[in-house]
Amino acid sequence: MQRIVVLISGRGSNLEAIVQRAAAEAWPARVTAVLSHRPDAAGLAWAQAQGIATAVVDHRDFASREAFDDALAAAIDAHAPHWVVLAGFMRILGDAFVQRYAGRMLNIHPSLLPAFPGLHTHRRALEAGCRVAGATVHFVTPTLDHGPIVAQAVVPVREGDTPQTLADRVLAAEHRLYPLALRWAVQGRLAVDGQAVQQLDGEAQHLFCDDPVEAP
């Protein structure tokens, strides 16, 4: 059974989607620990209620990014994970940290990368007049929001959308996308070649989510 460590900063709804799909689909993997840099991250309490180990590495306790990264890596490595999953994790990680987990760390970003890396993706998509928006699951590399793309979900931008209504639509799509991409990873069904990621069974690496519904 492969071990997954999930890093969160807040609510943890992607974490919930992953834990639920892993159980429902009998993955050869399970989430063995949830870590956060914020003691008040709501997803920590949810994880504890599921009997999942949790730990906090509070970034305010460290004088430098390197010291924080080292402590976070130690907390992760205590669980000897096969996969490290960033799910709404809002800290920038240093190059050494990223290299340590190269090829086995995934992130979800709420835009159709390479458009809109960084923050405020939904507001920026609306300001740019985009007619579609979405989310991307990618391998993490040292350049922020830039690693090889595993899968993308596309949603429409609707008349009258605000950053919040668009975020809600994208988030529902994220809850389908991230478990799908992570399942492929734990099943060994992904091949990375430079920036390109191939799903080895030929499954579509995109979702079109018009009025997305939550996975059952």
Residues 6+ apart with CB under 8 A from 86: 6, 7, 105, 106, 107, 108, 140
Contact with ligand GRF (CB under 6 A): which of 13, 54, 152, 205? 13
Q: Looking at beta carbons only, is 70 or 98 nearer to ligand GRF?
A: 98
Contact with ligand GRF (CB under 6 A): which of 3, 11, 30, 123? 11
Tell me if 179 contacts ligand GRF by CB under 6 A.
no
Per-residue binding letters, 82-121, with ligand GRF (x by CB under 6 A): -----xx-------------------xxx-----------
Residue nearest to ligand GRF (CB): 88
Residues contributing to the site for ligand GRF (CB under 6 A): 8, 10-14, 87-88, 108-110, 135, 171, 174
Active site residues: 109
